Amino acid sequence: MIDVAIFGAGGRMGAALLTAIGSHKNLRLMAAVEQPGHPMLDRDSGTAAGTQPNGVPVTSDAEAAVKAVDVIIDFTFHTVVAGTAALVAKYKKAYVLGTTGLSPEERAAVDAAAKVVPVLMAPNMSVGVNVLLDLVKQAAAVLGADAGYDAEIVEMHHRHKKDAPSGTALALAKAVAEGRGADFEKVACFGREGITGERDSDTIAVHALRGGDVVGDHTVIFAADGERVELVHKASSRGSFANGALRGAEWLVGRAPGFHAMREVLGL
């Protein structure tokens, strides 16, 4: 049995993880963590998430939670990540990180942890999205700028999402760049405004939409004269993300230190 701590238990993904973990027979919830002052503190985490009571209260003692488990699943706000990464490195615990929007300093803390523990870091842990990433890379290799195809990515999320564009949209854009053999930093474009001039054929553009309760929609468009190819993923619930993260947590325990990817978990 693999013991799990969920960091960010009071968030939308935390609730999805607390709901889904019961269907993963090799995983056992041992800790649910939130920040000091959070209204969920000391409540049964299952009840607070709207599922069955599980006997695991929500705590703000991150260090005790890390010490007590085999793997940490982290879906917190980015400002919390550096502290958690330091703890997983200190206690040599596997680390599944789904938080996006990390600053360079926060990413450096994760890089340091990956030198001593296995880290599964993915902007989107759903099985469908990770298959999509492979499909996009393959399509981009054929539907290139030199063949007359313009690449545009559109993502939409709920009104509460704090970062833009989404980590998944960035990963998809980088998959396009990789498939084309392009330097992403040189060809990336984030939205447009004003008199922009004609579109550069090498551009890979990303556009972010926000509104309502949209869980996550991503569309990769390859547009040419006379035809358009669209690869689309639409998430109707966070259960797909949660189950992917839990599947990854089970796979990650016992792996070598360093960064691991969902494609490894899925055998892609």
Give the residue numbers marked as catalytic. 157, 161
* CB contact burial 161-189 (16+ within 10 A = b; e otherwise): beebbbbbbbbbbbbbbebbebeeeebbb
Distance CA 47, CA 20 (A): 14
**Residue 5, strand partner residues:** 31, 72
Tell me which amino acid residue 224 is: A
Distance in angstroms (rounded) separating the CA atoms of residues 74 and 245: 9
Judged by DSSP in three states, 203 sits in: coil
Q: Which residue has the tokens 């998959």?
A: 175
Sign of the torsion angle spanned by Cα atoms 34, 40, 42, 46 = negative
Q: Provide the 3-class DSSP secondary structure of residue 88.
A: helix
Contact 260, 120 (CB under 8 A): yes
Q: Where are the alpha helices (DSSP H) in the chain?
A: 12-20, 45-48, 62-68, 78-91, 104-114, 127-142, 167-180, 184-187, 239-252, 262-266
Sequence-distant (6+) residues with CB within 8 A of 181 are: none
Is the bond leading into 165 cis (omega within 30 degrees of zero)? Answer: yes
